[in-house]
Chains A and B, each alone.
Chain A
């Protein structure tokens, strides 16, 4: 069973540790994520959810262990290939990370510009992704003039515009009302339906219950796989059904 999993795994983590000084933000995480899997990472605040995602896109180097992204070993790749790793991901950051001095269009176009795409293609693509998130009218707005929910939608648009293989979403519904949260979640589910692997870090119980997919539970940097997820996933499935 594990062998089957490994064949399909797009992300593999082996005994990953991340320490900040003496603090263990992540301890001995071993985890496979399959292609086109929808994975929910949950756990209390400070459990290490954001840290886990950060390690995946090489926002930081891990302290110990191995991470393979689509066969690339993050501890072994050279510096100048880090951008290539990051282009595999569409990332929705907990704090959005939109560039305040650039327009909505420029923020989203950036993802394609760094890949050297042609302007005409970029324009078409950004226009269509903005339509998907329902923000086409604010194409020339600057992020600070948008509401939290609107910024979140732009962040989603930026994450999906490059058709990445993997979406990492860190609290994508963090401070949103349930209506905006539903919009974001259905967008993410749409991307998942089109074949992307989606990893969502959240402690929103409603999302965990309504989304479906595998749930892993982190606590104090440790993966609590055996006790938590199995019964929970079952429960969720009955609820969603």
Chain B
């Protein structure tokens, strides 16, 4: 009986939508555009975030040691660094090894090294951090702590520029979230407006329904279903359009470039479903807001 009743309402909702298709199409297109923009942001965010994460994993602090540090001191120093908060591993790279690496990296300029009488490079501790404790403030604090050891001549945490990128990224995240809210509100508003128009154009009919004993719920239910259907169709359309755009872009980009750098990914299924639910919720909320003021005794 319950399912029979909800089927009845769904049927009524579809009938209403078909008889007012122009209004509904305009609404759905508007929702679809909002969702397209929101999910495009989501796509961008997902991919940027992934790049950022892979960069962050590579974060390391190089601690250059003074030339006069004795080898016997090394294990103790290593232990001290290891005991600092957030450190996951400490690797000792002797200056000889460092020079070998450098030579390999600069094979063409081998002549540069030929005249070296003495290894100019210092010994190095390569300090890696526990990923979960990584944020830029912590990296800086840790670097400063390491620099305080008398045996340490200086520290370097190569991807210093990353902090600036990270800042921009955070700003972008903030702007994107604000944008999502604006478009969510736009969806809510457009649904509210459509439902209001539909409701107003049929208020005599609803008055009659009430006189023959219809509850407010009976009258409103199809509108809620319509609002949610609008949200669902608009949301699906928006995500689908984004997928088509994504597909066209990724299949036209030279795979050499994309695979070498990073592979672009589409929105995860969970995010897509989340956006769809948000879209349906905007339909429901629009309906709620516009019907709240009607049907008062």
Interface residues of A (CB under 8 A from B): 57, 59, 79-80, 82-84, 86-87, 91, 93, 97-99, 101-102, 110-111, 113-116, 118-119, 158, 162
Report the separation of the CA atoms of residues A116 and B210 in the bound assembly, to the nearest whole angstrom. 14
Selected from B1, B205, B211, B216, the residue in CB contact (under 8 A) with A86 is B211
In the assembled complex, the CB of B170 is this many whole angstroms from the nearest CB of chain A, namely 49
Q: A99-B205, A116-B5 are in contact. Are A59 and B211 (CB under 8 A)?
A: yes
Point out the residues of chain A lying under 8 angstroms from B175, CB to CB: none
Question: Are B4 and A97 in contact, CB atoms less than 8 angstroms apart?
Answer: no
Query: B5–A86 contact, CB under 8 A?
Result: no
Give the residues from 195 to 228 in chain B that come closer than 8 angstroms, CB to CB, to chain A.
Answer: 202, 204-205, 208-216, 218
Q: Smallest distance from the beta carbon of B206 to chain A beta carbons, Å?
A: 9
A–B pairs, 16, beta carbons within 8 Å = A57-B211, A59-B211, A83-B213, A83-B215, A86-B211, A86-B212, A87-B213, A91-B212, A93-B211, A99-B204, A99-B205, A110-B209, A114-B214, A114-B218, A116-B5, A119-B4
Please name all residues of chain A whose beta carbon is closer than 8 Å to the beta carbon of B4 when the two chains form the complex: 118-119
Say if the beta carbon of B92 comes within 8 Å of chain A: no
Q: Out of B1, B202, B204, B212, which one reaches A110, CB within 8 Å? A: B212
Tell me the count of chain B residues lying within 8 A, CB to CB, of chain A. 18
CB–CB A101/B209 < 8 A: no
Identify the closest chain B residue to A161 (Cβ): B212
The complex places the Cα of A86 from the Cα of B210 at a distance, in Å, of: 8
Residues of A within 8 A of B202 (CB): 101
Q: How far is the CA of A57 from the CA of B215 in the complex (A)?
A: 14
> Judging by beta carbons under 8 Å apart, are A97 and B213 in contact?
no
Check B211 against A113 for contact (C-beta < 8 Å). no
Kindly identify which residue among B5, B8, B213, B297 contacts A79, using a CB–CB cutoff of 8 Å: B297
Cα distance A116–B5 when bound, in Å?
7
- In the complex, residue of chain B having the shortest beta-carbon distance to the beta carbon of A113: B8
Are A114 and B297 in touch, CB under 8 angstroms? no
Q: Measured between C-beta atoms, what is the minimum distance from A65 to chain B in Å? A: 19
Q: Which residues of A have CB within 8 Å of B204?
A: 99
- The A-contacting residues of B in range 9-51, CB under 8 angstroms, are none
Residue of B nearest to A101 (CB): B205
Given A80-B216, A83-B210, A116-B1, 20 new contacts (CB under 8 A):
A59-B211, A82-B297, A83-B215, A86-B210, A86-B211, A87-B213, A97-B211, A98-B208, A99-B209, A101-B202, A101-B205, A110-B209, A110-B212, A111-B212, A111-B213, A113-B218, A114-B213, A114-B218, A116-B5, A118-B4
Contact A91 B211 (CB under 8 A): yes
CA distance A195 to B210 in the complex (A): 25
Nearest Cβ on chain B to A159's Cβ, whole angstroms: 9
Bound CA–CA A158/B214 (angstroms): 14
